Every structure is written in structure tokens, then in C-alpha cells.
Amino acid sequence: MSTIRLGDIAPDFLAQTTEGEINFHDWLGDSWGVLFSHPADYTPVCTTELGTVANYKAEFDKRNVKVIALSVDGIDSHHGWIKDINETQNTVVNFPIVADEDRKVSTLYDMIHPNSDDKMTVRSVFVIGADKKVKLTITYPASTGRNFDELLRVIDSLQLTAYHKVATPANWNNGDDCVIVPSVSNEEIPGIFPKGHREVKPYLRLTPQPNLD
């Protein structure tokens, strides 16, 4: 087992899910992906998280992102739990949940942290680009539910900065000004950023978000 670092190719795997057997890389195709783990089925915080993701699926679809969850419980348990999620969160779970009873995927992605719990996975999040490379990793403790608005915000930043020569400043949200990366010279700015720019310091140059009309 090794730590997965940013820029690594996301490990491929074959697994049973609530939507049938999948090969992870084939399932992703040319989409981005979010793989996120849950400590166990029938746990309260996870129930709210999976319901939230189901309700946000249109937002992920808009960004060409496929979402897939994982728990170390089995398929039958997953299907029973989905009924509870749909009922309590007023939704319909519309993405696969990996059954990882043998902990192969959990081990592959280093999702079990023995000093926290030697059986259940922590709340790991992996954002994977269309190139199958890991773009973001976040690890939450089992006691803290994830903020999926923040995850969408980060995906917006990742997709923007992957295709334009900008970075996003603190607390950036979609539509806000962006930072021009240092590798772009002042002479190049008019050709790359026709909307103009504002120089706060020679190393801090702001421009309107380039991928918006």
C-alpha cells in the first residue's frame, strides 16, 4: 500500500457495485470522477452525505463528473441502506456504491487509517481528471460530514485552471476574478486575457474569469 499523491494515475480496479460490476477506468471514460468512501452502511452522517450527493447529481453532470461511493459493507446491505437514504433524504440514489467487503479498494486507495479505526474507512475524497490523474485528495474524520458545495467549488477551480493560465485566490467562487499565473508575462496578457487585468503587485495580477462570456 502506498500513499496516492496529486498527479498520480488513479489506481484502476474491478468491483461489484449497486449498479453492477464496473472497471473503474472504463466506467470513468472521458469524464472526471469523484470517488468517496464511507465508514459503514446505516450510519447517520453517511446517510445525509449520500442523500446530498444524489440531490446534487445534476451539478456534477453539468461539470462532466461521475460520482461513485464506497463502503466496506456488501451489496445486499447497500441496497437496503439506499431505501433508507431515499426515504429520509427525500431523494433517489442515482450513482453506484462499491461493495468492498474484502477491503481491496480501500487498501488500494489507503482509505483505512488504523490509528483512527482499523476496520472502517475514513471519509476520503478523490477527484480524478479525465486524464485519470488524481487532482485532489481530502480526508475527513468519520465524525465530520463533508461539504459538497466546497467540493463543487474546488472542481470548478480545477477545471478552470486545467485549461486556462490562471489560479484561483482564497475563497474564490465561480464568476470571481482569477489570478494570472506567474509564467505569463505582462506582454502576453493582452493576447491571453482580452478582458483586461488589474495589477495589485507585479506578482499579483487579477483578471475576470476567462471561461465566462
* Residues forming the active site: 46
Contact predicate 111/136, CB 8 Å? no
Give the three-state DSSP class for 166: strand
CA dist 79 and 75 (Å) reads 6
Strand order in the sheet with 97-99: 20-23, 14-17, 97-99, 65-71, 32-38, 123-128, 134-140
CB of 93 closer than 8 Å to CB of 186: no
